[in-house]
Amino acid sequence: MRQFLLAIALAGCSADRVTSDGTIPQTSSPTADVSALAPVHSVTGHGDLKPGPGFEFAVSVAVHQDATGRVWGRVVTSIIDLSVFGLSGKGEIIQEPVCMRVVGNTAYIGTVLVKTYDENVEKVGDRGVFWVQTGGKDGDVAYGGPAGFWDPTNAICTSTPPQLPPVAVDKGNFNVQ
């Protein structure tokens, strides 16, 4: 019940979002079926990822999608080490979803940056991508990064998302529903 009420509140307060098929959903009429606002897909959890030496970050995600394709939530990335890219310092990047596609135990999420700690890392308004696969033979894998590099054609939520590297989740776990 709590998720249902949260879904109604967030859907009523948020701007239109892009659906998983790339279209912008129409605004519901006051008499629309409110069950369409209940989440039909969600990705939640936390994971520490270490793609390589000098490259470490942690991701917390809570993204939901209703039956109309509308998405809401946040992807919060805590930068631990980017020294491989010549960057120092730690900080937090906050992204909001613009689309999500769930296929089985895999979720693909397109995002837009709403808060950064360092404009040299990413700028507010930049597009990003995040994907996660839960419960594989070796456990959860995930990865995220700038869409300009990983997804220049903005295909993350289509039937042919870009290939992103499967990085094993070091600590934590994700749940894709």
* 19 part of a folded domain: yes
Measured between alpha carbons, how far is 37 from 151 in angstroms, rounded to an integer?
A: 29
Residue 28 lies in a domain: no
- Residue 70 domain flag: yes
Residue 1 scores a pLDDT above 50: no
| pLDDT on residue 63 | 96
Boundaries of domain holding 8: 2-23+38-176
pLDDT at 92 over 90: yes
Close Cβ partners of 77 (under 8 Å, ≥ 6 residues apart) = 57, 58, 59, 92, 93, 94, 95, 144
Domain count across the chain: 1
pTM: 0.75
Which residue carries 């033979």 as its tokens? 137
Going by pLDDT thresholds of 50, 70 and 90, the confidence category of residue 12 is very low
Q: What are the pLDDT digits (tens) for 20-73?
A: 444 434 444 444 455 556 778 999 999 999 998 999 999 999 999 999 999 999
Give yes or no for residue 157 having a pLDDT over 80.
Answer: yes
